[in-house]
């Protein structure tokens, strides 16, 4: 017996502004949507989302906030769609692996780093700004818990501006995995890998750049050399004056890790548990440091996109 199948929604939908900018070779910056739906309380989440888009425009680029709405991967959101991501209850959190299911079942969700990186590259966007990457979790030798971000960055030609990886992770192990997977990491005006909420993790990096033009030059060299379609991670630290107090960070993180072990929090639940514990345990100071990092990363990403578009 033949069955009638409901057609799958279109895979991608670029906003008119984003499509026009890409067609003209104008700079475009991808922005993830999980910080809007899952990372900030209402109504501040919408205010921050709007602020980040304005920052991109002030730097001469076009913002492309990415989310999946009713099964369609939307590359660039209008005001109503941005508000929907910020306010709709039950919005899913979508990694790359979730995208086919979301498309087929017409689900809606905010995109993580892995999903945003994939969709941005698929749309022809080369530069992406976020807060912190996922990576190798502490205790990984026992549970092999590693973020899908690493795998996606190892096979996606995109430049990600971030404040390092989330400080709840095993930073040295994450840097080793990025090296193994062929992902280039360069510090933006720093020799030490940033610590997300903290100015530095204390881990040294092999490459340092001083300008957006140097980042764009590395991107061109990636293309000229060929080889695997790996990413460029531009690690930009949160300013010292805006970082979370290191002693407070270390104390609350130790408490959070102990609480997670007591309550047997594992798998996908561990990251939101620890981050939420840090927000509450620092009286919101960790959230402010995160936002300071995202603002700086967005500005630099727009500058890199502008430099990249000049000769591309």
Residues marked active site are found at 32, 166
Write the CA distances from 218 to 140, 158, 224, 236, integer angstroms: 32, 12, 10, 16
- Residue 68 has phi, psi (to 5 degrees) of -110, 120
Contact 168, 244 (CB under 8 A): no
Contact 29, 56 (CB under 8 A): yes
The DSSP code for 211 is S
Q: 31 by DSSP, 3-state: which?
A: strand
Q: Which H or E run includes 270?
A: helix 270-281
Closest CA to 192 of 179, 183, 205: 205
Closest CA to 31 of 82, 69, 80, 92: 82
How many Cβ atoms sit within 10 Å of the Cβ of residue 45? 20
Cis omega (within 30 of 0) for bond into 22: no
- Residue 145 has phi, psi (to 5 degrees) of -90, 110
Tokens of 190: 């720093």
Please compute Rg for the chain using Cα positions. 19
């Amino acid at each position: 017996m033949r069955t009638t199948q409901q057609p799958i929604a279109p895979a991608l939908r670029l906003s008119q502004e984003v499509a026009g900018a890409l067609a003209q070779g104008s700079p475009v910056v991808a922005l993830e949507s999980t910080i809007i739906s899952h990372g900030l309380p209402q109504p501040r989440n919408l205010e921050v989302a709007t602020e980040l888009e304005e920052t991109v425009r002030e730097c001469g680029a076009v913002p492309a906030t990415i989310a999946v709405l009713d099964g369609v991967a939307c590359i660039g959101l209008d005001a109503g769609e941005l508000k929907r991501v910020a306010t709709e209850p039950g919005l899913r959190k979508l990694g790359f692996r979730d995208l086919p299911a979301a498309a087929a079942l017409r689900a809606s969700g905010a995109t993580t780093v892995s999903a945003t990186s994939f969709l941005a590259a698929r749309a022809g966007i080369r530069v992406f700004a976020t807060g912190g990457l996922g990576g190798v979790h502490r205790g990984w030798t026992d549970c092999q818990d590693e973020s899908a971000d690493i795998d996606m960055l190892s096979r996606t030609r995109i430049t990600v501006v971030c404040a390092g990886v989330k400080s709840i992770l095993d930073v040295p192990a994450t840097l080793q995995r990025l090296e193994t997977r062929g992902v280039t990491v360069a510090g933006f005006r720093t020799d030490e890998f940033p610590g997300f909420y903290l100015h530095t993790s204390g881990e040294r990096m092999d490459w340092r750049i001083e300008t957006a033009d140097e980042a764009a030059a590395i991107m061109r060299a990636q293309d000229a050399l060929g080889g695997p379609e790996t990413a460029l991670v531009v690690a930009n630290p949160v300013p010292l004056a805006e970082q979370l107090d290191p002693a407070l960070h270390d104390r609350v993180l130790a408490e959070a890790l102990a609480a997670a072990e007591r309550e047997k929090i594992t798998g996908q639940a561990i990251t939101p548990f620890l981050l939420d514990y840090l927000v509450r345990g620092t009286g919101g100071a960790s959230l402010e440091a995160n936002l300071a990092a995202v603002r700086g990363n967005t500005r630099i990403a727009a500058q890199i996109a502008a430099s990249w578009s000049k000769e591309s």
